[in-house]
Amino acid sequence: MASSQADLTAQLRERFESAGAMLSASAKYKDTYNLDFIINGMEDIPAHINLGVCVSSTPDDFDAISKFSTASKRGIVLKSVYIEIHEDVEAEAAILVAFAVCLSVLFDRKYQNSKALGVKIQEDCSFVVFDLDESVQRLENMLVDGDTAIGDELDGRIIAYFTDKGFGFVQNEENRKYFFHIANVVDDELRARLPGYVLGEIIPVVFQFGGNDGKKYPKAINVSLTDEDSYFDYETEY
């Protein structure tokens, strides 16, 4: 029988305590930031330690991950690690891997500039480390895209096009950005206009939703010019 999320959290805490870790926990921080506990130090290790930990047995839990990701951003903890454990992993093995991963995040130089990381512990006890903010963005995109069917027609504006690379970005009223390639442009006039695109130029278009495929930006297909000249605010960061 798979261990509950609470059991896994308790076992990881016990593993750290037996290794001489100094831990703290707060009901307020759990409710606000999904912080299960904070590692504040390790016995006989003089390095300054402040690592927030969350253990989950639910895959791709957007609400839990997005709440947890704010802890390091707001300075509640210096670093944070979100540990997602596959339901079929034996608890003892999962805790051992989670313990080792947390130590790596704390002491491995390759993670010294990382503030918020996620770890997926797979069924075979292998693990994958990922950027937590990127995961939040990916899951948010999936939620938004879930309400849009491939082929749905949308209004937007081209806010960037890279002539040398042949691709650019369309953005809609909600500041949602879509990637498009010149091959996705079906309007001859627009195809002729894009090679002379100037940075900062805004071109109203209509396009169809082309899916996401788990990437940072969904695809815009069948892009063409529109006579729409209404204005909306947009961000040029992409």
Say what the pLDDT of residue 155 is: 93
pLDDT (tens digit per residue) in 153-212: 999 999 999 999 999 999 988 788 899 999 999 999 999 999 999 988 999 999 999 887
pTM for the whole thing? 0.66
Phi and psi for 163 in degrees, rounded to 5? -55, -40
- 5-18 helix and 91-107 helix, angle to the nearest 10 degrees: 60
pLDDT (tens digit per residue) in 141-165: 776 666 677 888 999 999 999 999 9
Burial (0-12, 13-18, 19+ Cβ within 10 Å), 66: middle
Q: Domains of the chain (ranges plus CATH)?
A: 5-142 (no CATH), 150-225 (2.40.50.140)
| Count of Cβ atoms closer than 10 Å to residue 169 Cβ | 19
